[in-house]
Structure formats: C-alpha cells, structure tokens
Amino acid sequence: MLNRNADQHDKILQAILSKYPSDGVGNGDFKKILTSWYSRIRKNGDIKPYLLKLGEASGVLEGIRDACWANWLPPENSKYVPQTLWAWPNDDALAHRPKGWLESSPADLDDIDNYMADYLKRPWMRRDAIDASVINALIFTELALYADEVKSGRPFGMINWSYLFSRGNPLKQLGFSLIGSAGVTIGIWALYLTYRLFTIPARFRLRKARKRAAEKAVETLTAMETAWHAARGQIINPSRLRELVLAAEERGAKFRPLPAYPP
C-alpha cells in the first residue's frame, strides 16, 4: 500500500513538472523548487492533501516568477529563454539595459509585493532560492529606478530630455542630442550669449546646488549598490544585508520592506 501511494506521488510530481517545459521563462528553477517541495510535503497516506498543497504552491510560485519577469520580452529571433526565477543581473546590466528588458528592471515591484504576501502565508514553502531571488530583485529594481532618475537629471533640477525620449538607449540619446543642436542661427546664438552674460551669478549658485545634489546622488547610488552586491549570492547574510540597507536609507535611498517571515 505504501509503495503504491509513493508511485502515485511520483506520477503526480511528473505530471506537474511536465507543465513547465524548458522553453518557459524561469522553468529551470521552477522544477528544482517543485521537486524540493515534493520531499517536504509527501505523505504516505491520503493523496488528496498532497495534491492540494503542491497545486497551491505551483500557483504562488508562478506568480512570483511572473512578477520577476514582468517587464521582459525575448529579443527578436533569439532562442534564449532564461531558466532562473530571477534575472540575477550584473553591473553591466545596471549601466546598459539588456535586450528584452522593457524597463530598467525586468521585475515589477507591485506584483512582487502581491505574490510575496501569498508566499509568506505558507511558511512550509520557504526556500533559499526563492528568498534570495526576491530580495535581489527588490534591491536591484529600486537601485535601477533611482539610477534612471539620476541619469534623467531630475535630482539636480535639470531634465535630460534626450535621455527621457530615448528611454535610456545611448544611441538614440545621441540622435536626440544632435537633433536638438541643429538649426541654430547666428541671431539666436547672439541672444543666447547675451542671456548667458546676464545670468552668470544665478547660474553660479545653481551650479553649486547641482554639484551638491550630484554628490548626494552618487553617495546614495553607491550605498544602494553596496547593498545590492550583498544580496547577489544564493546565500545571504541577513544581518549584514540589513545593516547595508539601513545605511543606504540613511543616505537617501528608499527601499520597499524586505520579506519578513513569521517565527
């Protein structure tokens, strides 16, 4: 009887895993996590509770995966499909948005909040792979959004329109800058020089204010990036990460609360 139930459990697991083929985003991690849950909730008795729990867990995990990849589309003619629950971006991805990312981060913070609420209600679902992925996604996304703010010039009171119109694409940004500088006539140039002469004192004060704002922005970005680096491994030191997040917040960073688990 016990062996028969075990065989039934195995068949159920294989049937669930078959729903997540290798050409689906995040399905590599998905299968590993589902298999690890299998060993935790498997019972040698009535199979119904097992079915309900595994089905429930699959739905929650799908939500977390979709939230982590909400702003991503596969690049045209590309056969590559990421198999991880989260992108795990490197420093280059922070500086230059990878192909396929629709925003500065592939994750959607609101969606992560919603699905993590369901995850936290089920302590038996906890896995290091999920916790580390979500924490990294939260910190990276906040960092990437703030970095975009800095690049756009908003913290300095000076909007970089070419950056905004190009959506951060450096080639498009160059094009908009060239368009903006074309067609300047001699008359307009003379008026501009006159204006510059009369506004030297005000511009000097404004330049100093922008310099202070830039120094503050760099300080904030550096602190946020340090916290993100501490969350890049599959194993995270919670105490150290908390210290770095608090240090970044003291320097002006704004993070959403990191996942907190019931005792």
- Supply the pLDDT for residue 181: 44
**Reported pTM:** 0.73
The region, left, alpha or beta by phi > 0 then psi within -120 to 50, assigned to residue 90 is beta
- Does residue 226 sit in helix, strand or coil? helix
- Supply the pLDDT for residue 95: 84
Return the bridge partners of 101, or none: 72
**pLDDT digit string, tens, across residues 115-130:** 888 888 888 888 888 9
**Kindly report the CA angle at 228 between 154 and 148, in degrees rounded to 5?**
20
Distance CA 236, CA 187 (A): 62
- Supply the pLDDT for residue 218: 80
Q: Return the closest-CA partner of residue 57 out of 4, 126, 7.
A: 126
Cα-based torsion angle of the residue sequence 241, 140, 248, 259 in order, rounded to the nearest 10 degrees: -50
- Supply the pLDDT for residue 258: 57
Q: Return the closest-CA partner of residue 70 out of 25, 125, 21, 120.
A: 25
Domain assignments of the chain as residue spans, ordered by start:
1-263
The region, left, alpha or beta by phi > 0 then psi within -120 to 50, assigned to residue 69 is alpha
**Kindly report the CA angle at 84 between 30 and 50, in degrees rounded to 5?**
10
**Which residue ranges of the chain lie beneath pLDDT 70?**
1-6, 9, 42-51, 153-211, 257-263
- Supply the pLDDT for residue 200: 53
Helices (H), the chain: 2-17, 27-41, 48-68, 91-95, 109-120, 128-152, 161-166, 170-181, 186-198, 200-230, 238-250
- First-to-last CA distance in the chain? 37
- Supply the pLDDT for residue 180: 46
- Supply the pLDDT for residue 178: 40
**pLDDT digit string, tens, across residues 151-194:** 776 655 555 544 444 455 444 443 444 444 444 444 454 555 55
- Does residue 148 sit in helix, strand or coil? helix
Q: What are phi and psi of 80, to 5 degrees?
A: -75, 130
Question: Which amino acid appears at position 5 of this protein?
Answer: N
Distance CA 29, CA 15 (A): 17
